Amino acid sequence: LQSTVFAESTRPANESGIYAGAEVTISEKMRFSAYYDQFRFPWLRFLNDAPTHGSEYLAQLTYRPSRNNEFYVRYRQRSKARNALGDQYIDYPVVQDRKYFRIHAQYKVSESFRLKSRAEWSFYQLEGEEADHGFMFYQDVIFKKMEWPISLSVRYALFDTDSYDARIYAYENDLLYTWSIPAYYSRGSRFYAMVKWDVWRKVDLWLRYSIWSYNDRETISSGLNEIQGNTKSEVKAQLRVRF
């Protein structure tokens, strides 16, 4: 018998908590939304050799001057325990804090062009350790003309984080039935472009190219996946034929 619940863990066991969320309409064009999540684990877990607890909250202010334009600012903080790092004989939990601040804008330039801009800052600190920081900015350009069979999505992003712990996630457009939310970390840039072509009435073609460029390394990954150089590119293609 399998079951699932709204929870912090992936399994509905060894957890109790409370969640509350609200949305307030300030005016016709502005709204405020927030939630608070408090959770507790009464027994041991992976990387937690003692009972622990944590919390997460988010606050977002959204301004929508028109149907096709939206701007929002968001703050999210997450506090959770994990075993301390080091060579101590007895593992004990310490608190790790993550904080994110985001500014996002999406606006329609014309009937065919839409732009999305985002800047996000991250903060990570493990109790007793120095804090790590991160920053990411991206610009999206989306072209779709109703009478044309081709649409285009392009992104260019810059990122700079002190460590993987300060990583920032961002959704990317991808092929049909697939999704991509990569982690932006280290120091460098990211580019991708995706084209969709309605070849025929029941035939569609997707092409996608993406590349990571790092400024702080000469090799990427390790072992059999190691790449000599500071760039990593990927090409995808998908053809759909409907009957």
Burial 146-179 (b: 16+ CB within 10 A, else e): eeeeebbbebebbbbbbeebbbbebebbbbeeee
Question: Which of the four pLDDT bands, split at 50, 70 and 90, describes residue 120?
Answer: very high
pLDDT, tens digit, 9 for 90 and up, residues 25-77: 999 999 999 999 998 887 887 777 778 888 999 999 999 999 899 999 999 99
- What is the DSSP annotation of 132-162? EEEEEEEEEEEEE-TTSSEEEEEEEEEEEES
Instruction: Tell which residue, 125, 124, 75, has the closest CA to residue 102.
Output: 75
Which 3 state secondary structure label does DSSP give 223?
helix
How far is it, in rounded angstroms, from Cα 190 to Cα 119?
14
Q: pLDDT tens, 206-242?
A: 999 999 999 988 888 888 888 899 999 999 999 999 9
User: Which pLDDT score is estimated for 169?
Assistant: 97
Closest among 189, 136, 191, 138 to 167, alpha carbons compared: 136
Report the pLDDT value the prediction gives residue 87, as an integer from 0 to 100. 67
Residue type at 168 in one-letter notation: I
